Amino acid sequence: MAAQTVASTTDSRTVDLGPAAALSCRECGHRVPLGPVFACEECFGPLEIAYDFSAYDTEELRKRIEAGPSNIWRYAPLLPVPADVATKPNINPGWTKLVKADNLARELGVTGGLYVKDDSGNPTHSFKDRVVAQALEAARAFGFTTLSCSSTGNLAGAVGAAAARAGFRSCVFIPHDLEQGKVVMAAVYGGELVGIEGNYDDVNRFCSELIGDPAGEGWGFVNVNLRPYYAEGSKTLAYEICEQLGWQLPDQLVVPIASGSQLTKIDKGLQELIKLGLVEDKPYKIFGAQAEGCSPVSVAYKAGHDVVRPQKPDTIAKSLAIGNPADGPYVLDIARRTGGAVEDVNDEQIVEAIKLLARTEGIFAETAGGVTVGVTRKLIENGVLDPTLTTVVLNTGDGLKTLDAVAGTGLTATIRPNLDSFREAGLAS
């Protein structure tokens, strides 16, 4: 593979990615030097970053984080990035609002404290800026000059923006039938945007082929050959939630699932905070949320299976429409180990939930946010999620990108510009 040629010329001593020490196989533990590789040469298992955190003193680390910038780089000591990362051109995502959602809590009957982690506040309006920011630093370290990805929409925009800011070429691949908001958001940054005739799983397969071919030489695919670095960006959601809660673990989290990477890395981030002594150890439950029209993990969870059977997606929640989720089995493990669950809601429930969140908290979520809020409601109704415990629901994207989902929402009335007409419309106080 072309990418591995790069790896052999770039060993862990010449690559400065801060506390990242090596790549380690999640299945067999085999370790290899840091490089643009993603699968274990022994067992084909996924590689992830292994760190050396041994030098950290808990209270010094806490002070360093708290004195850091108001973005993900406050956590640079815990990420695969160089120590001076905040000085480089990057889109600097993160430190998004954790909204105490008292109105929504009242509607849903949550008494233990309900929060929405609102990641629509990132530079390109989705959580994907977090993962792309990490992948960009890895691309720099490995000498790539083109950034690429297979995307369900949000990732393409995040890559386009990060590449523009950092002076990389970008060429990204999406299913040809995405929402217009996502297409425009991906194209406006000036990189190349290619629609593939097929669904996300077809796009992803195509990108895997391109990596092994001279046509893709020198390309950093953020979610393929840079996936181990990319994935670590999701840990920052866990770090921020705990820090924003006053360095405390929440009791319950509701997290959307596309490939399942975000959910598994949120768990990894929480485990790291416990091991580093930054939060007090206590049980927490992670709940996964899918759309019924693309629910391979939810179906496997409910059937008690360990393997995830691929599906052909058909849902308005296109950002979550991955029919063959790479991290599906790990999500099942985490949901079961923590005492959480995986649940799904249908398109109608997604739209209702988008409107519920908007009406109660003034937050306009994309369809993925409708999925998490809808699943939260369903889990409470089914007695699975405990309303007396502190609960954090993730909104990972902005409703302006998925306007079609709420088409039909519009004018209350059209009137002539005079008071009689206003009164006739029944709007007077």
Ligand X SMILES: *Cc1c(COP(=O)(O)O)cnc(C)c1O
Site residues for Zn ion per CB under 5 A: 25, 27-28, 30, 40, 42-43, 45
CA distance 220 to 195: 19
* Residues contacting residue 222 through CB under 8 Å, at least 6 positions apart: 131, 132, 135, 136, 139, 147, 148, 149, 155, 159, 230
Beta-strand pair 169-175/146-150: parallel
390 touches, from ligand X, Zn ion, none (C-beta below 5 to 8 Å by class): none
Contacts of residue 363, defined as CB under 8 A and 6 or more positions apart, other chains included, come to 99, 116, 118, 120, 357, 369, 395
- C-beta of 73 vs 230, nearer to ligand X: 230
Tell me if 396 contacts ligand X by CB under 6 A: yes
Q: Which does 96 bind (CB under 5 to 8 A by kind): Zn ion, ligand X, none?
A: none
Distance in Å, CB of 301 to ligand X, minimum: 15
Using an 8 Å Cβ cutoff, are 391 and 114 in contact? Answer: yes
| Contact set for ligand X, span 219-238 (CB under 6 A) | none
| Both structure tokens of 405 | 């989902």
By beta-carbon proximity to ligand X, the closer residue of 318 and 355 is 318
Asked if 261 touches ligand X (CB under 6 A), the answer is yes
From the list ligand X, Zn ion, none, partner contacted by residue 27 (C-beta under 5 to 8 A by kind): Zn ion
Q: At its nearest, how many Å lie between ligand X and the CB of residue 321? A: 10
- In the complex, minimum distance from the CB of residue 135 to Zn ion, in angstroms, rounded to a whole number: 22
How many Å apart are CA 223 and CA 204, to the nearest integer? 9
The region of 79-87, 235-243, 255-263, 353-361 touching ligand X under the rule CB under 6 A is 255-263
Select from ligand X, Zn ion, none the partner in contact with residue 45, using the beta carbon and a kind-dependent cut-off of 5 to 8 Å.
Zn ion
DSSP assignment of 14-42 equals: T---TTEEEEEETTT--EE-SSS--B-TT
Residue 117 sits at the vertex; the CA angle it makes with 252 and 84, to the nearest 5 degrees, is 110
Residue with Cβ nearer ligand X (179 or 251): 179
For residue 117, give the nearest of 239, 232, 229 by alpha carbon. Answer: 239
Q: Is 257 in the site for ligand X (CB under 6 A)?
A: yes
Contact pick of 204, 290, 315, 319 for ligand X (by CB under 6 A) = 319
174: contact with ligand X by CB under 6 A:
no
Q: Which of residues 151-170 bind ligand X (CB under 6 A)?
A: 154
Place of tokens 């790479």: 326
- Beta strands 285-291 and 252-256: pairing type? parallel
Only one of the segments 23-31, 251-259, 349-357, 414-422 lies at the binding site for ligand X (rule: CB under 6 A); that segment is 251-259
Q: Which does 126 bind (CB under 5 to 8 A by kind): Zn ion, ligand X, none?
A: ligand X
Q: Does 259 bind ligand X (CB under 6 A)?
A: yes
Q: How far is the CB of 361 from ligand X (least distance, A)?
A: 18
Q: Which of the ranges 25-33, 54-62, 126-134, 239-247 carries the binding residues for ligand X, by CB under 6 A?
A: 126-134
In whole angstroms, what is the distance from residue 233 CA to residue 247 CA? Answer: 19
Minimum distance, C-beta of residue 142 to Zn ion, in the bound complex (Å): 21
Of the two residues 29 and 69, which places its CB atom closer to Zn ion in the complex? 29
The region of 27-35, 71-79, 236-244, 259-267 touching ligand X under the rule CB under 6 A is 259-267
262 or 295, CB closer to ligand X?
262
User: Could you give the CA distance from residue 210 to residue 283 in angstroms, rounded to a whole number?
Assistant: 43
Minimum separation from the CB atom of position 111 to ligand X (A): 28
DSSP sequence for 124-167: TSBTHHHHHHHHHHHHHHHT--EEEEE-SSHHHHHHHHHHHHHT
CB of 41 to Zn ion, least distance (A): 8
In the structure encoding, which two tokens stand for residue 32, read together? Answer: 């290899």
Residue 394 pairs in a beta bridge with 117
Site stretch for ligand X (CB under 6 A), options 8-16, 42-50, 123-131, 245-253: 123-131
Q: Pick from 368, 392, 393, 405: which binds ligand X (CB under 6 A)?
A: 368
Token pair for residue 116?
């929405």
Q: Name 221's bridge partners.
A: 148
- Residue 256 makes contact with ligand X by CB under 6 A: yes
Q: Is the Cα dihedral 32, 36, 42, 48 positive or negative?
A: positive
Task: Check binding of 258 to ligand X (CB under 6 A).
Answer: yes
Residue 43: contacted member of ligand X, Zn ion, none (CB under 5 to 8 Å, by partner type): Zn ion
